[in-house]
Amino acid sequence: QLLETGLLALLAAPAGLLGSAVPGAALPTGAPVPSIAVWAFRWMAFRIMLGAGLIKLRGAKCWLDLTAMCHHLETQPIPNPLTRSFHLVPRPLLLFATASNHVIELFAPWLLLLPFRPFQAAFGATHLVFQLTLILTGNLSFLNWLTV
Interval 98-133: pLDDT, tens: 999 999 999 999 999 998 999 999 999 999 999 888
Give CA–CA dist 102/52, Å, rounded: 9
Q: What is the biggest distance separating any 2 CA atoms in the chain, rounded to whole angstroms?
A: 63
Query: In the chain, pLDDT over 70 holds for what percent of residues?
Result: 82
Taken as a whole, the chain contains a residue count of 148
- Where are the strands (E) in the chain, listed by range? none
Q: Rounded to 5 degrees, what angle do the CA atoms 135, 41, 137 make?
A: 10
Residue 58 has pLDDT above 70, yes or no: yes
pLDDT, residue 101, reads 93
Least confident of 65-69, 72-76, 88-92, 144-148: 144-148
SS3 for 92-112, per residue?
HHHHHHHHHHHHHHHHHHHHH
Residue 142 has pLDDT above 80, yes or no: no
> What pTM value is reported for the model?
0.79
Exposed, middle or buried: residue 104 (CB in 10 Å: 0-12, 13-18, 19+)? buried
Mean pLDDT score of the chain: 84
pLDDT, residue 34, reads 81
Residues 46, 109: contact at Cβ < 8 Å?
Answer: yes
pLDDT band at 51 (very low <50, low <70, confident <90, very high): very high
pLDDT band at 81 (very low <50, low <70, confident <90, very high): confident
Residues 114, 120: contact at Cβ < 8 Å?
Answer: yes
Give CA–CA dist 69/98, Å, rounded: 6
Which H or E run contains 82? Answer: none
Give CA–CA dist 128/106, Å, rounded: 16
